Amino acid sequence: MSTIYVNPSVETVEGWSVKQVKDFLNSKKDEFFFNDDEIAKVEENGINAGTSKSPNGLVFIFVDNSNLFIKGKYTVGNLEKVGTINRKRGSFYFNELRFDHGCLLSTEHIRSQGFKVVLYDRNVKNKEKKIDTSFVVDGMKVIMSEDPGIFVLIAGDGDYYPMILEALYRNWKVEVWFWTSGISGNLLSKEEKSRLSFYPLDDCYRYFTYASGPNFEKICS
């Protein structure tokens, strides 16, 4: 009897055997763009995983654009005291905020070096969507198939905690960049805080953000 796979949660995948992971990846080859060599490498590394591998010096950056964008509107609004007041949250909301991803990541330079850049955006209803399975799959694919390097996560959702744990277990250096007020406590638990580096975007947002809207100086003059 064949097994029909739906997109599982991170917790579900953690409980799978190597064979179950391999079967799932084979069933999703077209959707997640896996090839046979990559699946074989994941299978090999999954069986022989551990902390014995040495870091390779490469940097892999994963950006949850939806998470970054929505939380940023509140954070920058509060820092700059601009925007509208969200009375339910007791917070400024700066809807005109925009990001320059080229400044945030030097995206074109990264692409020119042969790196793959993928941004996960908001859904069609303009709401923050639940953790994207393909985002986690891409992250786990790198963690399990590549020799350990630097894993950079620009996101603050606690659902990414199992992925970070897996990276740390496999001897990756992990960096988390996010807004201080939006970071999940799971990502910065006392146990893991000493094992990863957290960099608050609150300290550097003016390097990669800008805003659009009416020029009130001209209107008032």
Give tens-digit pLDDT for 172-190: 999 999 999 989 887 877 6
39: nearest Cα among 51, 50, 24, 55: 24
Residue 172 lies in a domain: yes
pLDDT tens by residue, 44-99: 665 444 444 555 678 888 888 888 888 999 999 999 999 899 888 889 999 888 88
Structurally, the chain folds into a number of domains equal to: 2
Q: Do 25 and 82 fall into the same domain?
A: no
Residue 6 has pLDDT above 70, yes or no: no
CA distances from 55 to 51, 92, 153, 159 (A): 10, 42, 17, 25
For 205, the token pair is 């947002």
Q: Is the pTM of this model over 0.75?
A: no
Q: Assess whether 107 and 203 both reside in one domain.
A: yes
| 5 within a domain of the structure (yes/no) | no
Most confident residue range from 7-11, 37-41, 42-46, 87-91? 87-91
Question: Does residue 81 sit in the same domain as residue 43?
Answer: no
**Residue with the larger pLDDT of the pair 175 and 100:** 175
pLDDT in tens, 135-149: 888 888 889 888 899
204 and 164 co-located in one domain: yes
Question: Is 2 inside any structural domain?
Answer: no
Start-to-end CA distance of the chain, whole Å, equals 75
Mean pLDDT of the chain: 75
Closest to 95 in 3D by CA, of 103, 85, 105, 104: 85
The domain in which residue 114 lies consists of 59-220
From residue 53, alpha-carbon distances to 60, 95, 137, 149 in Å are 17, 45, 21, 10
pLDDT band, very low/low/confident/very high, at 108 (cuts 50, 70, 90): low
Residue 118 has pLDDT above 60, yes or no: no
